[in-house]
Each structure stands twice: as C-alpha cells, then as structure tokens.
Amino acid sequence: MKKTQIGLIGSVILSFVGMLLRLNARALAWPQNYSYSGSRADTQWARQEDAIGQVGLIFMCVGGLLLVVTYVYWLFGVAANNADKDET
C-alpha cells in the first residue's frame, strides 16, 4: 500500500474510534445498575465519563490532523513528484 492510502485509512479509523468513544462515553463509564442519591457530578463514574469523552475528542482531532497531513502530502508531495517526472 502507498503511504497516502495508509494515512487515509488510519486517519478515518482513528476519527471513527474517537467518535465512538465520545458518543458512548456515558454507556462505557456508568454501571448498568446504580443507586446514588447525591449529585452525579461528584461520582467516579462522572469523572470517568469525562475522561473517556476527552480521549475520544483527542482521537478525533489526531485523526483529522492526520487526514489533513495525508492530503497535503498527496497534493504537494506526490503530485509535485509526478509533475517533475513529466517535464524530463
């Protein structure tokens, strides 16, 4: 596989995993059956939900950045190399 294909596939997968983590943070962090009468913000589950959501956001940002870097590499790296070969 070419570098651009690997970068594209990797960035899409990383962004998708980040999106899944971000959207499912509550389901992953909170137990199925819980009973807590106080503020839910003070529980370990709420902190874990925030942490999972932040990790998902970081994955999405890194995936998007990797997508941009791959696109720029393809646009200026590969296309410029092909243009140089055509001139000779």
User: Which pLDDT value is given to residue 37?
Assistant: 72
Tokens of 57: 């956001």
**Sites in the chain below the pLDDT cut of 50:** none
User: Which pLDDT value is given to residue 83?
Assistant: 60
Enumerate the domain spans of the chain.
3-29+43-87
End-to-end CA distance of the chain: 27
- DSSP 8-class letter at 30: S
User: Which pLDDT value is given to residue 17?
Assistant: 95
The answer to whether the beta carbons of residues 84 and 14 sit under 8 Å apart is no
The answer to whether the beta carbons of residues 4 and 68 sit under 8 Å apart is no
Question: For tokens 């590499």, what's the residue?
Answer: 73
The answer to whether the beta carbons of residues 61 and 11 sit under 8 Å apart is no
